[in-house]
Amino acid sequence: MNWTAYLPMLWQGAVVTMTITLSAILFGVILAFVFGILRVEGGPILSKVALCYTEVFRGTSLFVQLFWFYYALPLVGLSFDPITTGILVLAAHAGGYGAEIVRGALSSVSVQQMEAARALNFNRLQTLFRISLPQAVVEMMPAFGNLTIETLKLSSLVSLISIADLTFSAQSIRNITLDSTSIYSVTLVCYFAMSLMLMVVVRVIERMVRRGNAFPRAAHS
């Protein structure tokens, strides 16, 4: 049978990949902000907690994290379906890297800005949310763009816990048709198309964040 008959199956896989990637990025960004902010402003205890989180998820392989969540969590009575597990693990992974991005960008806001805020008597939270974060977010955008693409690519690992994503579907179709070249070529194009779409979305968000003329375009972006 010709591989083209399986295109709907590949399409379904692509939809699963996109769903998992987008959800993981959304939750990952939330985690990144929570833990990144805690790293900088959390005080002695919470900043250590945040540090543990980032180091654990950056320091171990996503592959192992996936299996660990998939097989170990049910043992303590927490069981999720594979898709939820995949999203949670990818989100936690992206959150670990994202928290570092947030921390780095927050600490790159100049001391002079902090002093100006202090001279105007803003308190710590006001300084964080009204002065540092809005400036830091602009700095974060390129790195979050990379993280988004990275998350898309890593999402193929969820096929290992039997989620029928794009990679999983491609493998299944190949096993039936034995036509590796065609099927993987199409898969490659699919991933590339999705990454292009994500990049466009990131660019649009970046432009919104830059808000017109507020920031002269930095040399590195």
Contact status, residue 144 vs residue 104, Cβ threshold 8 Å: no
Round to whole Å and give the CA distance between 50 and 1. 53
Closer CB to another protein, 64 or 217, in the complex? 217
Which residues are near another protein by CB under 8 A?
112-113, 115-116, 118-123, 126, 130-131, 134-135, 138, 211-216
CB of 134 to another protein, least distance (A): 5
Contact status, residue 159 vs residue 167, Cβ threshold 8 Å: yes
Round to whole Å and give the CA distance between 121 and 153. 45
CB of 44 to another protein, least distance (A): 13
Q: Which two tokens stand for residue 138?
A: 């602009």
CB of 136 to another protein, least distance (A): 10
Closer CB to another protein, 107 or 113, in the complex? 113
CB of 202 to another protein, least distance (A): 19
Which helix or strand (DSSP H or E) is residue 68 part of?
A: helix 62-71
**Cβ neighbour number for residue 70 with a 10 Å cutoff:** 20
Contact status, residue 182 vs residue 175, Cβ threshold 8 Å: no
Closer CB to another protein, 160 or 209, in the complex? 209
CB of 123 to another protein, least distance (A): 7
Nearest to 57 by CA among 94, 104, 20, 103: 94
Closer CB to another protein, 130 or 207, in the complex? 130
Instruction: State the residue for tokens 């898709």.
Output: 83
Closer CB to another protein, 83 or 138, in the complex? 138
